[in-house]
Amino acid sequence: MLDVPHISTGDIFRDNIKNHTKLGQKVKEILEEGGLVPDVITNEIAKERLEREDCRKGYILDGYPRTIDQARYLDDLLDDSDEKLDYVINIESSDECIIDRLSKRRYCPACGRIYHLLSTPPRKEGICDICGAKIIQRADDKEETIRDRLRIYHEQTKPLIDYYKQKGLLVNIDGERKIKPILEDILKIIGVK
């Protein structure tokens, strides 16, 4: 839709785990337990990805930065390449809403399509509409692990709200609505609609 790459550090880690790379072996347990991959590793992964040619006309960062240290590292990277962030979009949802959404989330390991068991279920139970593979639950979408991830979010990621507010980049969006109005708001903010 926007013709810029969607860069998700979580997707990069999951691909590495799936492909049994050295990085994948290093981070597998951390992801399964819902912890954060150490900043030095994550920053290096982000740097490598952002240096690729397809990022020269823009990109969407998803799940990075997640700590103040990562945000400072990203600032330095952007300074070095004379680039800047246009917006930091904070999609606000209560912990209860997030637990509901993630615990009922399923995904297709073959094509990556994401489902929610109640709001966007597959047409045939347990089977991906797109490619016919069996859909599964992410190991870190078990309720106990979601609660750990939320605890880490409040401790380590939430401070980024003030960090980016002070820089004048933060835009808050009500994330407790359906996907369509949230998407429309985001497109309006970035000037696509």
Among 16, 50, 64, 141, binds ligand AMP (CB under 6 A): 64
- 112 in the Ramachandran plot: left (φ > 0), alpha (ψ -120 to 50) or beta? left
DSSP 36: P
Given the complex with ligand AMP, which of 33 and 162 has the nearer CB atom? 33
CA 62/CA 91 separation, integer angstroms:
11
Q: Does 70 bind ligand AMP (CB under 6 A)?
A: yes
Q: Does 30 bind ligand AMP (CB under 6 A)?
A: yes
Q: Say if CB 55 and CB 49 are below 8 A apart.
A: yes
Q: Per-residue string for binding with ligand AMP, 135-164, x by CB under 6 A? A: -----x--------x---------------
- Least Cβ distance, residue 191 to ligand AMP (angstroms): 25
With CA atoms as reference, report the closest residue to 4 among 72, 54, 75, 53. Answer: 54
Instruction: Give 46's contacts (C-beta < 8 A, 6+ positions apart).
Output: 7, 9, 61, 64, 65, 70, 73, 74, 77
Burial (CB < 10 A; 0-12, 13-18, 19+), residue 3, is exposed
Q: Say if CB 12 and CB 45 are below 8 A apart.
A: yes
Interface segment toward ligand AMP; rule CB under 6 A; list 27-35, 76-84, 169-177, 179-187 = 27-35
Among 7, 17, 66, 160, binds ligand AMP (CB under 6 A): 66
Among 5, 15, 28, 35, binds ligand AMP (CB under 6 A): 35
Among 16, 17, 42, 160, binds ligand AMP (CB under 6 A): 42
CA 75/CA 80 separation, integer angstroms:
9
Among 63, 109, 121, 122, binds ligand AMP (CB under 6 A): 63
Q: Does 68 bind ligand AMP (CB under 6 A)?
A: no
- Least Cβ distance, residue 14 to ligand AMP (angstroms): 7
Tell me which residues touch ligand AMP (CB under 6 A): 8-10, 13, 30-31, 34-37, 42, 63-66, 70, 140, 149
